[in-house]
Amino acid sequence: MIVSLDVFYVLVGLLFAACAVMTVRDRTNPRRVTTALFWGLYALVYLLGERLPPAVAGGLMIAMALVAGCGFVKPGRADVLPEATRRASAVRLGSRLLVPALAIPVVTMLGSVVLKDVHVGARFLLDPKNVTLVSMGCGSIAALALACWLTRTTPLQGVREARRLIDAMSWAVVLPHMLAVLGLLFSEAGVGKAVAHVATSYFPLDSRLLACAAFCVGMALFTVVMGNGFAAFPVIAGGIGIPVLVGVYRADPAVMAAIGMFSAYCGTLMTPMAANFNVVPAALLELTDKNAVIKAQLPTALPLLGANILLLYFLMYR
């Protein structure tokens, strides 16, 4: 393929390296050396990638966690234009400001729907295994180019602005990545099997309503723990859904599967383990309470979980 994911790994690596360099020279940052070290180590992960020996990469990850965990990652003072200047600029540029922002989804869709099978010679234009991500990368580059042209600035200013946003999110940037590592370790260590064993051995499944409730709540709880519905589904469907709901109560497997996966999603709305949906947005929107997004989602997730139990109970025979 011509445009592969590796291109964007290098670009992100360079972005983090630039963050490190800008941070070490930033006198407004009270922890500039350790903060620069943190972003520098992360840059290595992207720039060297598979060339890093796994044990070294593991060491890098632990070092980053210790630097962040001890409070050594701090933001510098953000350099933003005064509000009056921004208002004047908004009036001057008007709706043209929306064009680069909308270019990201538009190019992503074009790439993943139209360009996905395009070949140049014998090679794919876009990496066929990562079409969406690669298309989104192209969309982001196009958006940056449009934004630079529209505002008459350089891509370097774009890098400075990206650093401002990364600084504001701080270590929350790496949390989803580290949680994914923990998820993989959980499955390697057999955590899923242990949970399924406990769930099927100790919960009463001898009435249809209880079995439905145990299945839906089990999906949600296991997702709360793992942070990912895809990890919960095989375990709970294999432990309760298929043997009990389908095997004993003769439920329609399609209904069981669909409502089961949605019950898992109710769990995703309630857990800090799903960091990229719940913790990162709180950081991105500069909320003081890191659990504010989860709290806003509870009044939707809990009634919906109850509704799922009833929907499964009444719809399982079609």
Partner 1 sequence: MHTAVNLWPLLGIAAVAAGFLLRANPVLVVIAACGVTGRAAHLPVAHLLESLGGAFIKTRNLPLILLLPLAAIGLLERFGLKEHAQAGIARIRSATTGRLLTVYLLAREVAAAFGLTSLGGHPNMVRPLVAPMAEAAAEARHGALSEGLRQRIRAMSAATDNVGLFFGEDVFVAFGAIVLMQTILKAEGIEVDPVRMALWGLPTAVTAFVIHAWNLRRLDRRIARESARETVAGRAR
Query: Binding to partner 1 (CB under 8 A): which residues in 265-304?
Result: 265, 268-269, 272-273, 275-282, 284-289, 292-293, 295-297, 299-300, 303-304
The nearest distance, CB 122 to partner 1, in angstroms, is: 25
H helix and E strand count, the chain? 14, 2
Supply the minimum distance, in Å, between the C-beta of residue 121 and partner 1. 26
Query: For residues 144 and 150, what is the distance between their CA atoms, to the nearest angstrom?
Result: 10
The dihedral sign for the CA sequence 46, 52, 53, 59: negative
Smallest distance from the beta carbon of 101 to partner 1, in angstroms? 6
Residue 244 contacts residue 211 (beta carbons within 8 Å): yes
DSSP string, 54-110: HHHHHHHHHHHHHHHHTT-----------HHHHHHHHHHHGGGGHHHHHHHHHHHHH
For residues 214 and 219, which CB has a smaller minimum distance to partner 1 in the complex?
219
Q: Which of 97, 115, 125, 210 binds partner 1 (CB under 8 A)?
A: 97
Please list every residue from 194 through 213 that binds partner 1, using CB under 8 A: 194-195, 197-198
Rounded to the nearest 10°, the torsion over CA 24, 40, 156, 30 is -30
Candidate residues 128, 157, 207, 248; the one interacting with partner 1 per rule CB under 8 A: 157
Task: Note whether 137 binds partner 1 by CB under 8 A.
Answer: yes
Q: Pattern of binders to partner 1 over 22-61, x per CB under 8 A?
A: -----------------------xx--xx-xxxxxxxxxx
Select from 2, 33, 118, 182 the one that contacts partner 1 (CB under 8 A): 182
Q: How far apart are the first and last CA of the chain?
A: 46
Dihedral sign from CA coordinates of 5, 268, 284, 297: positive
Could you give the maximum distance between any two Cα atoms of the chain, in Å?
Answer: 69
- Exactly one of 35, 39, 108, 244 binds partner 1 (CB under 8 A); that residue is 108
- The answer to whether the beta carbons of residues 221 and 203 sit under 8 Å apart is no
Contact positions with partner 1 (CB under 8 A) in 235-264: 237-238, 242, 246, 252-255, 257-259, 261-262
**Which of the residues 65 through 94 are near partner 1 (CB under 8 A)?**
65-66, 68-69, 71, 80-81, 83, 86-91, 93-94
If the CB atoms of residues 5 and 24 are measured against partner 1, the closer one turns out to be 5
DSSP 243: I
Closest separation in Å from C-beta 210 to partner 1:
20
10 binds partner 1 (CB under 8 A): no
Residue 121 or 318 having the CB closest to partner 1: 318
Query: How far is residue 232 from each of residues 9, 183, 316, measured CA to CA in Å?
Result: 29, 11, 20
By CB under 8 A, residue 223 contacts partner 1: no
Say if CB 266 and CB 299 are below 8 A apart: no
Contact 205, 243 (CB under 8 A): no
Position 176 contacts partner 1 (CB under 8 A): yes
Which one of 191, 213, 217, 245 is in contact with partner 1 (CB under 8 A)?
191
Considering only 22, 147, 199, 244, the residue that binds partner 1 (CB under 8 A) is 147
